[in-house]
Amino acid sequence: MWTLVGRGWGCARTPARWATGAALGPAPTFGAAPESWPTCRVYSSAEFKEKLDMSRFPVENIRNFSIVAHVDHGKSTLADRLLELTGTIDKTKNNKQVLDKLQVERERGITVKAQTASLFHNCEGKQYLLNLIDTPGHVDFSYEVSRSLSACQGVLLVVDANEGIQAQTVANFFLAFEAQLSVIPVINKIDLKNADPERVENQIEKVFDIPSDECIKISAKLGTNVESVLQAVIERIPPPKVHRKNPLRALVFDSTFDQYRGVIANVALFDGVVSKGDKIVSAHTQKTYEVNEVGVLNPNEQPTHKLYAGQVGYLIAGMKNVTEAQIGDTLYLHKQPVEPLPGFKSAKPMVFAGMYPVDQSEYNNLKSAIEKLTLNDSSVTVHRDSSLALGAGWRLGFLGLLHMEVFNQRLEQEYNASVILTTPTVPYKAVLSSSKLIKEYREKEITIINPAQFPDESKVTEYLEPVVLGTIITPDEYTGKIMTLCEARRAVQKNMIFIDQNRVMLKYLFPLNEIVVDFYDSLKSLSSGYASFDYEDAGYQTAELVKMDILLNGNSVEELVTVVHKDKAHSIGKAICERLKDSLPRQLFEIAIQAAIGSKIIARETVKAYRKNVLAKCYGGDITRKMKLLKRQAEGKKKLRKIGNVEVPKDAFIKVLKTRSSK
């Protein structure tokens, strides 16, 4: 397609003598010779898109940085102001969470995906390229943060001037510290009535050992003092250490799937140059691709001629299969192999849940949706699974409960998929006792992610459960209540530090299954929302675990099998039996709902049978006649109970298995 730049009229033929920039004359008369047509400039539609020349940014003028903070401390708002200050977006009142593009992020007001934006900033006569990555703040998305930091040389650590240091602030600081990045502390929300920046400065100095005069006090909402943040980024964050003359080495740190263009990979270039038409090879799959488009995110996609070492951008290379773009993969030029970059430590799932389509005919559509979404969210692990009641499905591993809810919500919103999600469980381990079993399983220590496959006590020497090291930061008036809550969850106290006059940092070792469902909600309600919680993996410990079966008229229901601690088996069994009693439809015979550990019944509920009044036709008369009718009815019910199977309807499963937000 050709576009004629000029006024009023257009033509399909393009004589070679047309010059650039001459004014258009009147439209030619119909049938006139081409030589008499006026001169003008013709652009192709490919030329019409103005492409950025990235070579004008030498390595010393590039800064790659991330914004990290606790939930709701103002990361996305600060990112909006930085985008406005550098002229990347226009200043309007509608600029709220510009980088939060997902519907789930807008609805919940949280960042779920790390987003990249390239800013062009003029400072003291030099043109700088600032690559900003806005990261999530919730503990469940810490894998996004650690991946983003691999493409950066520094971070802005944002702290709320009102709330001070929170649990995730501490976790994010140590992620940046371990990656040896420059940390610039930014105290946000100084415009609030209860803001106390001096107290927060002292906290930062005490907990992180960063001098208080290095803190920058801003209000991202009002834009107060945000220019000094840009100045600090240029002065305090070093440029990337890269070599443009070396062969190409690019790290894929994120990717999304577009149904028309295939996989769009977000890359950080460590060495070399990449341009459209280059042949590149994936170190993971060893497949060769041709680069169709390269560019930067500004914050929307902006194609460029080339990307150079030290820059962060996107790359489209016709990868049509979602499994081809592995996050952490290294891309290099064809016939110029390089040493692959270290990549990322794979995410360790903390919570497992079964996912099944509501209708089995939707299985293939849901499979495709899960594949595309796991490309964008690589921390989810997928194993195929099947259930007698719910059909074919998957066992998915998540980093936490919020992560599971967000994944489910994104499936519904982005792919219009409706699913059944079972109660979350955690991965247990069992140490096998006999050499015959070790030979059968091919290892001494087996991991169990599905409670139905939990081995019998006679086959194992010990069971192991996952534990986490939890950090709780709270105002000191709630310390007593929180300690009681932690002890009720079988937690062991490890440390207790006062970070200032009225805030305490508690460290506890928790069994993961005790905190996975509703601990965070209980903690927030006990502390009026002031306490914050963060946890990190701390391996496994031995535990007295038992497998609890749920029986309906003596028959075990595989989908309702759970693994519980011996001390809590009775209360959990009773709760499941009560929920089942409310969910199961009544039959013509009595249904016994029992929770059992091995052959021992620990809880029972009964669903009463429908009862026909067989004595309705007896008006008085001999008692033996009535007894005879009642006896016959009882025998009929006994026979029914023997031959009648209790089919648990799907909606009853959903009611019992669905995540309980509160007990």
Is 266 inside a domain boundary? yes
Of 421, 456, 474, the residue that ends a domain is: 421
Same domain? 144 vs 257? no
pLDDT band at 18 (very low <50, low <70, confident <90, very high): very low
Residue in 210, 317, 338 with CA at minimum distance from that of residue 267: 317
Same domain? 130 vs 213? yes
Is 276 inside a domain boundary? yes
SS3 content of the chain, % helix, strand, coil (to 5): 30, 35, 40
What is the predicted pLDDT for the residue at 639?
60
Provide the total of helices (H) and of strands (E) in the chain, helices listed first.
16, 33
DSSP letter at 88 equals: S
Is 345 inside a domain boundary? no
Same domain? 66 vs 196? yes
Domain count along the chain: 5
Q: Cα–Cα distance between 517 and 505 in angstroms, integer?
A: 23
Same domain? 72 vs 212? yes
- Bridge pairing between strands 445-448 and 492-500: unpaired
Per the prediction, the chain carries an average pLDDT of 79
Name the strand (E) or helix (H) holding 651.
helix 650-657
Task: Tell me how crowded residue 146 is: count the other CB atoms within 10 A of its CB.
Answer: 19
CATH of the domain at 63: 3.40.50.300
What is the predicted pLDDT for the residue at 509?
92
In three-state secondary structure terms, 534 is strand
Q: Let me know how long the chain is.
A: 663
Is 1 inside a domain boundary? no
CATH of the domain at 480: 3.30.70.240
What is the predicted pLDDT for the residue at 350?
78
- The residue with tokens 């593009």 is 101
Lowest-pLDDT range of 93-107, 511-525, 622-636 = 93-107
Q: Provide the domain limits for residue 328.
A: 249-333
Same domain? 227 vs 253? no
Same domain? 192 vs 313? no
Is 84 inside a domain boundary? yes
Two tokens, residue 400: 């936490």
Task: Tell me how crowded residue 102 is: count the other CB atoms within 10 A of its CB.
Answer: 18
| Residue 173: burial class (beta carbons within 10 Å; 0-12, 13-18, 19+) | buried
Please report how the helices 363-376 and 401-415 are oriented relative to each other, as an axis angle in degrees rounded to 10: 120
What is the predicted pLDDT for the residue at 596?
92
Of 333, 365, 383, the residue that ends a domain is: 333
Q: Cα–Cα distance between 210 and 200 in angstroms, integer?
A: 12
Residue in 206, 220, 199 with CA at minimum distance from that of residue 78: 220
DSSP string, 569-630: HHHHHHHHHHHHHHHSPP-SS-EEEEEEETTEEEEEEEEPPP---TTTT--S--HHHHHHHH
Is 34 inside a domain boundary? no
**Alpha carbon 455 to its chain's center:** 31
Please determine, for residue 5, whether its predicted confidence score (pLDDT) is greater than 50.
no
* Residue ranges of the binding site: 69-76, 134-138, 188-191
Name the strand (E) or helix (H) holding 468.
strand 460-475
Of 523, 543, 563, the residue that ends a domain is: 543
**Residue 159 contacts by C-beta under 8 Å, 6 or more apart in sequence?**
69, 70, 73, 165, 169, 185, 186, 187, 188, 200, 203, 204
Same domain? 64 vs 169? yes
Q: Longest Cα pair distance anywhere in the chain, in angstroms?
A: 123
Same domain? 441 vs 312? no
- The per-residue pLDDT for range 341-398, each reduced to its tens digit, is 776 666 777 788 888 888 888 888 889 888 888 877 777 888 888 777 678 888 888 8
CATH of the domain at 312: 2.40.30.10
Residues 74/220, Cβ–Cβ less than 8 Å: yes
Q: Cα–Cα distance between 132 and 83 in angstroms, integer?
A: 9
Lowest-pLDDT range of 64-78, 132-146, 451-465, 592-606 = 132-146
pLDDT band at 661 (very low <50, low <70, confident <90, very high): very low
Is 603 inside a domain boundary? yes
CATH of the domain at 610: 3.30.70.2570
* Residue ranges of the binding site for GTP: 69-76, 134-138, 188-191
Paired residues of 302 in beta bridges:
296
Two tokens, residue 194: 């209860």
Same domain? 316 vs 382? no
Same domain? 356 vs 450? no
Is 27 inside a domain boundary? no
Same domain? 117 vs 201? yes
Could you write out the three-class secondary structure of 635-649? HHHHHHHHHCCCCCC
Lowest-pLDDT range of 15-19, 506-510, 601-605, 636-640 = 15-19
What is the predicted pLDDT for the residue at 413?
84
**Residue 25 contacts by C-beta under 8 Å, 6 or more apart in sequence?**
38
Same domain? 556 vs 590? yes
pLDDT band at 322 (very low <50, low <70, confident <90, very high): low
Two tokens, residue 185: 């502390």
